[in-house]
Amino acid sequence: MADTGTVTYGEYCSGNPKLGHLLCRTINWNSDPSGDCIKANIGRLQGTVERVNFRPSLTSGGQPTDSYDITLIDQFGFDVLDGAGTNLSNSASTHFHIPNRHYDFYHWDPSDGDVLVRSGRGILHTICVTNPAATAGTFTVFDSLTGSSGDTVITEIYVCSDTTYFVPSTLTLDIEFETGLFLNADYNIDGGDIVVTYGHDIVKQWIGPMDLTVSNAGETSKGYIDIFFRK
């Protein structure tokens, strides 16, 4: 379907300039009777995006089709919304708060051997031992890609094998690693269930033009998008 419709936008700011302006770019989009897909450049956006609001028109004849989609594509082809603009409600406003950090989980049985959980920088958040080991022992967490001798040790954890008194335990660390997150089981430990929670900071700063695409919204539909960001 052809890219049709119109897009207009304006911007305002508030706050103390010494503390950093909070800016809001409000985008008004309208599809025309010949199609329901809009693609338009919304200008250069420079700053750290904190929140995005989606506001569908509720007026008769302008309300989008339910589960419509919106993307904001930067100059490198990535969706700034990371998919949060899909399947939007046509009857209520929704908002998307861009988090500072993304967390992942890794389940590990030490008897499966050593493992590289993540390469590159990140945050080791928690280590949870959810089941005792068949044979008690320790495992070592390295800031490394290989867990070799001489690499930086983040922590060492002892896992017991006593099922009578064992209870799941969680250790909160919040320690940064630079090279990678590597789990190394020693020769004694056998079995057990380890859950590692780790994260990485999300880059939220964009410098450059943005392309807005609205699709599956229906003909003659309209709505608004508010992008809140700081310079």
| Prediction pTM value | 0.57
Sign of CA dihedral 212, 218, 223, 228: negative
pLDDT tens-digit map of 108-126 = 998 888 999 999 888 999 9
Q: Average the pLDDT over 144-151 and give the result.
A: 88
Task: Say what the pLDDT of residue 36 is.
Answer: 62
Q: Which of 40-44, 51-55, 166-170 is modeled with the greatest confidence?
A: 51-55
Q: How far apart are CA 167 and CA 175, in angstroms?
A: 24
pLDDT of residue 18: 47
Q: Exposure string (b/e) for 148-176, b if CB count within 10 Å is 16 or more? A: eeebeebeebebebeeeeeeeeeeebeee
Residue 140 has pLDDT above 90, yes or no: yes
pLDDT category at 131 given cuts 50, 70, 90 is confident
Count CA atoms closer than 13 A to 70's CA, side-chain side: 34
Q: In what order do the strands lie in the sheet with 193-201?
A: 101-108, 193-201, 122-131, 169-177
Compute the mean pLDDT over every residue in the chain, rounded to the nearest whole number: 83
Which of 8-12, 65-69, 128-132 is predicted least confidently?
8-12
Q: What is 101-201's CATH number?
A: 2.60.120.340
pLDDT at position 1? 42
Q: In the structure, what pLDDT confidence band is assigned to residue 2 with cuts at 50, 70 and 90?
A: very low
Q: What are 155-206's pLDDT values in tens digits?
A: 998 888 877 666 788 999 999 999 999 999 886 787 778 999 998 776 666 6
**Residue 210 and residue 73 in contact, taking contact as beta carbons nearer than 8 Å:** yes
Instruction: Tell me what pLDDT residue 115 has.
Output: 95
Residues 113 and 190: beta-carbon distance below 8 Å: no
Residue 113 burial by CB count (10 A; 0-12/13-18/19+): exposed, middle or buried? exposed
Same fold yes or no, 6-99+204-230 and 101-201: yes
Please tell me the number of Cα atoms within 13 Å of 123 on its side-chain side: 14
From the candidate CATH numbers 2.60.120.260, 3.40.190.10, 2.60.120.1440, 3.30.365.10, the one assigned to the domain spanning 6-99+204-230 = 2.60.120.260
State the residue for tokens 């603009």: 85
Q: How far apart are CA 221 and CA 30, in angstroms?
A: 6
pLDDT per position as a tens digit, 85-98: 999 999 999 988 87
Q: State residue 17's pLDDT score.
A: 47
pLDDT of residue 7: 72
Residues whose CB is less than 8 angstroms from the CB of residue 205 and which lie 6 or more positions away in sequence, other chains included: 47, 48, 49
Half-sphere exposure of 213 (CA within 13 A, CB side): 17
Report the relative pairing of strands 152-159 and 137-143 from DSSP bridges. Answer: antiparallel
The Cα 32–Cα 3 span in angstroms is: 10
Domain-by-domain residue ranges, the chain?
A: 6-99+204-230, 101-201
Mean pLDDT of 10-26: 65
- Give the integer Cα–Cα distance in Å for 109 and 159: 11
